[in-house]
Structures are given as structure tokens and as C-alpha cells.
Structure 1
Amino acid sequence: MNIFSEFAQLLYELTGVNVALLLAFGFFTGVLVVFSATLLMTLYNLLATRA
């Protein structure tokens, strides 16, 4: 866990990106991916039932 905290500190010093902002961006990206996957599956199911 100490190595992880040191890596996070190094990442913060190099990029200046806050860890909370990084987590929020990761969460937003995850939600967007899940939403896109759900939308694609819904469209695929609609097209499959129509064919």
C-alpha cells in the first residue's frame, strides 16, 4: 500500500491532476461505456427481432 501511495504522489506531482478528479473522470467514463454498451445491445436486439 505504501508503494501505491508513493506512485499516486508521484503521479500528482508530475501531472498536477487531483486524485478525486481522476476518480470522477474514471467513474464518468465507466458510466458512458456502460450506457453505450446498453444502447448498442438494445439496438442489436431490435434489429435482430425485426429481421
Structure 2
Amino acid sequence: MNDIPMTDFEAERQYEEASLLNEALEDVKEGRVLDGKEALFQLKEKYNL
């Protein structure tokens, strides 16, 4: 797999998005929330993204 050139800002943004998505999926998996989209929205709101 080849590296895709991107700015540090873009890499950080993608990392934050992936982290939020993982956290939302974990919440759904653990049964803390029923709706993954709502969980992701709440996390974005929580972290002001």
C-alpha cells in the first residue's frame, strides 16, 4: 500500500474522525446507545467538531 500525501492538518482530522467513529461503534456494541449515527453526532458535539 502506498502512502497518500496529505497535510498534517488533514491527517489529524482523519485521525479524529476515525477515533470518534470507533468510540461511537464501541458505544453501540456495548449497548450504551441504540443509534450509531446519533452516538457519532453526540461525540462530535462533545468534542466541538
TM-score normalized by the length of structure 2? 0.54
Residue of structure 2 in register with 1:19 after alignment: 8
Percentage of matched positions with identical amino acids:
3
Query: Which consecutive aligned stretches of 4+ in structure 1 deviate over 6 angstroms post-superposition?
Result: none
Residue of structure 2 in register with 1:40 after alignment: 29
Q: List runs of 5+ in structure 1 lacking aligned partners.
A: 1-13, 44-51
**How many residue pairs end up in the alignment?**
30
Distance in 1, matches of 2:13 and 2:28, equals 22
Instruction: Name whichever structure is richer in helix by fraction.
Output: 1
Distance in 2, matches of 1:20 and 1:42, equals 33
Distance in 2, matches of 1:25 and 1:41, equals 24
> Over alpha carbons, which structure has the higher Rg?
1
User: RCO higher in 1 or 2 (8 Å CA, sep ≥ 6)?
Assistant: 2
> Residue 42 of structure 1: SS of its match in structure 2?
coil
